[in-house]
């Protein structure tokens, strides 16, 4: 297992008025915190259980964690993954030593297959979060944070099924009970707020987020008990916030983080101070960095738009020589950079002497974006901003 670093973040420290550190679990073996729990769970198996091997169901990080941990311990592993699992994660899981079976459309389908396999061959099912050995393994993240940042007073944790935050909160409760623990979920895939309000695990009504690593519809029984007892609060963040956080990690910390792994940073960037109630030095856990390159490209563009660094407009101009040149001249004078231009005469709302221009520009943020729009308006152009 790798002891991951905690690095200071000046930009987040300035934004929050608290010293902020990033716990880089994206640099852990297999690219996430998952091997900690998987290794502890598998290491505690009896000799007979080890002979029968282990099985897991996952679309990504847990699959790789189980495969790596089992191989390290000399135990055969089998992983069931949905048919649409990202190719890099399938390849990595196989490379870590697991036998991989693809099938079904969802994690639930894969889990059904894993349970059937366990019953047929006697393999031990390694749950991604809802087992005390898994929770105990994830608690080692908190042990390292307390050693690396002795004066830490707030820890912010990406939260899905609850294995990581349960382990962190339990360790902190025993060793540093003054430390505040905050969980973060994607707003469009948040099962914890409703569950805590109901006093029991309750399935979320919707699961729609780019942060698939924390998109868990139903909290575990084991993890719920820990979170209910030891976690101070759970907050939610938007998809825009997640993409902006991922972009900030890349640009300012030089760290590749998946959307779920950036959830804690998203909360520090966008949640109100009174909602977080930060105390003292803060540690935000970057829980994983396994992101498909195609998704990374999409999220980067999403983050640039959410940060007002892309501006797309629809402009109608006269259909005569020099019309487009004049428009682009105004853009140039504003300091914006043209990314894309689409010039069309066939829109149904156009008059015979008009042309519609779809223009995408790169700007330096909200202030510059507004200045570019003002320059176009001052030049007499009727502009419609495109979302």
Residues designated as active site: 34, 287
Q: Is the dihedral of CA 235, 239, 245, 249 positive or negative?
A: positive
Q: How far apart are the C-alpha atoms of 247 and 300, rounded to whole Å?
A: 6
Q: How far apart are the C-alpha atoms of 65 and 67, rounded to whole Å?
A: 6
Q: How far apart are the C-alpha atoms of 3 and 364, rounded to whole Å?
A: 37
Angle at 136 between CA 132 and CA 140, to 5 degrees: 165
Structure tokens at 275: 């909602």
Angle at 162 between CA 275 and CA 243, to 5 degrees: 60
123 DSSP 8-state letter? P
Give, for 287, the enclosing helix (H) or strand (E): none
Contact 103, 110 (CB under 8 A): yes
The residues that bridge with 285 in the sheet, in sequence order, are: 23
Q: How far apart are the C-alpha atoms of 250 and 240, rounded to whole Å?
A: 16
Determine the longest span between alpha carbons in the chain, in angstroms: 83
What is the radius of gyration, based on Cα positions, of the chain?
24
* DSSP line for 316-365: EEESSTTHHHHHHHHHHHHT-EEEEEEEES--TT--TTEEEEEEEEE-SS
Q: Which of 262, 53, 287 is nearest to 163 (CA)?
A: 287
Q: Is the dihedral of CA 340, 343, 349, 354 positive or negative?
A: positive
């Amino acid at each position: 297992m790798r002891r991951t670093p905690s690095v200071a973040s000046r930009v987040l420290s300035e934004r929050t008025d608290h010293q902020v550190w990033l716990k880089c679990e994206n640099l852990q073996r297999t690219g996430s915190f998952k091997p900690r729990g998987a290794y502890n769970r598998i290491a505690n198996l009896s000799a007979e259980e080890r002979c029968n091997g282990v099985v897991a169901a996952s679309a990504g990080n847990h699959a790789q964690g189980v495969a790596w941990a089992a191989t390290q311990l000399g135990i055969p592993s089998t992983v069931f993954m949905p048919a649409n699992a990202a190719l890099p994660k399938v390849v990595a899981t196989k490379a870590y030593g697991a036998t991989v079976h693809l099938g079904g459309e969802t994690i639930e389908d894969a889990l059904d297959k894993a349970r059937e396999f366990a019953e047929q061959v006697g393999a031990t099912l390694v749950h991604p979060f809802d087992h005390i050995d898994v929770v105990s393994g994830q608690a080692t993240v908190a042990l390292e944070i307390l050693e690396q940042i002795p004066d830490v007073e707030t820890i912010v944790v990406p939260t899905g099924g609850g294995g990581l935050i349960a382990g962190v909160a339990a360790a902190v409760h025993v060793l540093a009970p003054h430390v505040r623990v905050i969980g973060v979920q994607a707003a469009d895939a948040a099962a914890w707020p409703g569950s805590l309000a109901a006093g029991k695990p309750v399935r979320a009504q919707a699961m729609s987020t780019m942060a698939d690593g924390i998109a868990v519809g139903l909290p575990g029984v084991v993890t719920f008990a820990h979170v209910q007892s030891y976690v101070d609060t759970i907050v939610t963040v938007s998809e825009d916030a997640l993409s902006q956080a991922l972009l900030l990690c890349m640009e300012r910390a030089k760290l590749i983080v998946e959307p779920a792994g950036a959830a804690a940073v998203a909360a520090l960037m966008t949640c109100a101070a009174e909602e977080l109630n930060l105390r003292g030095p803060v540690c935000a856990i970057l829980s994983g960095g396994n992101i498909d390159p195609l998704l990374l490209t999409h999220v980067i563009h999403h983050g640039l738009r959410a940060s007002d660094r892309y501006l797309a407009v629809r402009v109608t101009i006269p259909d005569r020589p020099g019309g487009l040149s004049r428009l682009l001249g105004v853009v140039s004078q504003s300091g914006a950079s043209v990314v894309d231009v689409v010039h069309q005469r066939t829109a149904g709302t156009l008059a015979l002497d008009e042309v519609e221009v779809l223009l995408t520009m790169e700007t330096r943020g909200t202030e510059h974006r507004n200045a570019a729009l003002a320059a176009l308006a001052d030049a007499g152009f009727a502009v419609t901003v495109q979302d």
